[in-house]
A and B are shown apart, each in its own frame.
Chain A
Amino acid sequence: MVDSGANFGSDIAARTLPLAGFHGGSSAARLETAPPAERISLRARAEDVGALSGALGVALPVKPKTSSSANGRTALWLGPDEWLVIAEGNGGLMQAAKNSGVLHSAADVSHRNTAILVSGPGAAAAINAGCPQDLSLKAFPVGACSRTVFGKVEIVLLRTAEDAFRVEVWRSFSDYAFGLLCEGAQDASL
């Protein structure tokens, strides 16, 4: 009864990014969509952080609002037992975490999130159009990261340079976030 004539299984599905074709920003705050990345939501107890850090090749930060980067991977502290680990391309994060051999939870969220890169002298002001956190370098230095709100949606914010941020957002909220960032970027340039 199966239509064996068809051979769709060998066709690899193409990928459609949530913010494909989005452009925006201003002279003060440039907006770009980040290339696809692999991401896991990693949960573990304090005693297993060392083993997981070793297995992932990046030290899981234990200090609030901090991140660390190594070997093309960035680990963001989101909570006392929670990290968002982002890898460029396909980094095999799930397997790496599994290789640690310690108790943990890793969930693949590569497609749940997408990211917008905000850069330029007005980057912080653009984000402050909707984010209530203090984004001065004193309060939010390079490498600082936090889950927070942006207008009516939740984001994870990472400062990648003095004038550059990565905004991680769930995919269905990403066009809202992009739209609000556009308005924020515009206002930051005035």
Chain B
Amino acid sequence: MLLIHCPYCEEDRSELEFRWAGEAHIARPENISAISDEEFAEFFFLRNNEKGLTYERWRHIHGCGRFFNAARDTVSDRFLMTYKAGMPKQPVPETGASEKTVETYEATEGDAR
């Protein structure tokens, strides 16, 4: 179970208090009624679902109730940082050698092919 730092509560809390809310930094177009079908598809349907560093939204739904953003490594499940909603995309801090990303379960199962 993840341990998530809520930037509003300024504390690490159990994942049980949170709800994931999809990819972050996808702004609703100001002129939404005027955008093309392709632009709408890009905004509403298409997601990157990247392996590794992702920016995502969480809501501390059973805590302070606030939505916030997180930078998480989907391979190691490590949270690199969390920050308040409305803030621009934050650069992730450099990780030291001791915090080297460890691959998935599958990848640790040997490199035999």
List residues of A whose CB falls within 8 A of some B CB.
Answer: 64-65, 78-80, 82, 132-133, 146-149, 154
B13: CB under 8 A from chain A?
yes
Interface of B is mostly: loop
A28 and B65 CA atoms in complex are apart in Å by 33
B78: CB under 8 A from chain A?
no
- Is the pair A64, B9 in contact by a Cβ cutoff of 8 Å? yes
- Is the pair B14, A133 in contact by a Cβ cutoff of 8 Å? yes
- Is the pair B11, A78 in contact by a Cβ cutoff of 8 Å? no
A65-B11 in contact given A132-B17, A148-B17 (Cβ < 8 Å): yes
- Is the pair B8, A80 in contact by a Cβ cutoff of 8 Å? yes
A10 and B64 CA atoms in complex are apart in Å by 42
Residue of B nearest to A78 (CB): B64
Query: Nearest Cβ distance between residue A163 and chain B, in whole angstroms?
Result: 23
B10: CB under 8 A from chain A?
yes
Q: Which residues of A contact B10 (CB under 8 A)?
A: 64
> Contact partner of A64 among B8, B14, B17, B62, CB < 8 A?
B8
Q: Which residues of B contact A147 (CB under 8 A)?
A: 62-65
- Is the pair B17, A149 in contact by a Cβ cutoff of 8 Å? yes
Chain B contact-residue range equals: 10 to 19
A65-B9 in contact given A79-B65, A82-B65 (Cβ < 8 Å): yes
Interface of A is mostly: strand
| Residues of B1-16 whose CB lies within 8 A of A | 8-11, 13-14, 16
Q: Which residues of B contact A146 (CB under 8 A)?
A: 9, 63
| Residues of B49-91 whose CB lies within 8 A of A | 62-66
A64 and B64 CA atoms in complex are apart in Å by 9
> Contact partner of B65 among A78, A132, A149, CB < 8 A?
A78
A132-B9 in contact given A146-B63, A147-B64 (Cβ < 8 Å): no
Residue of B nearest to A77 (CB): B64
A177 and B17 CA atoms in complex are apart in Å by 17
Q: Which residues of A contact B64 (CB under 8 A)?
A: 64, 78-80, 82, 147
A7 and B13 CA atoms in complex are apart in Å by 55
Residues 8-30 of B, flagged 1 when their CB comes within 8 A of A and 0 if not, give 11110110110000000000000
Q: Which residues of B contact A80 (CB under 8 A)?
A: 8, 64, 66
Q: Which 4 interchain pairs have the tightest Cβ spacing?
A: A79-B64, A132-B14, A64-B9, A149-B62
Query: Nearest Cβ distance between residue A4 and chain B, in whole angstroms?
Result: 49
25 of the cross-chain contacts (CB-CB < 8 Å) are: A64-B8, A64-B10, A64-B11, A65-B9, A65-B11, A78-B65, A79-B63, A79-B65, A79-B66, A80-B8, A80-B64, A82-B65, A132-B13, A132-B14, A132-B16, A133-B13, A146-B9, A146-B63, A147-B62, A147-B65, A148-B17, A148-B62, A149-B17, A149-B62, A154-B62
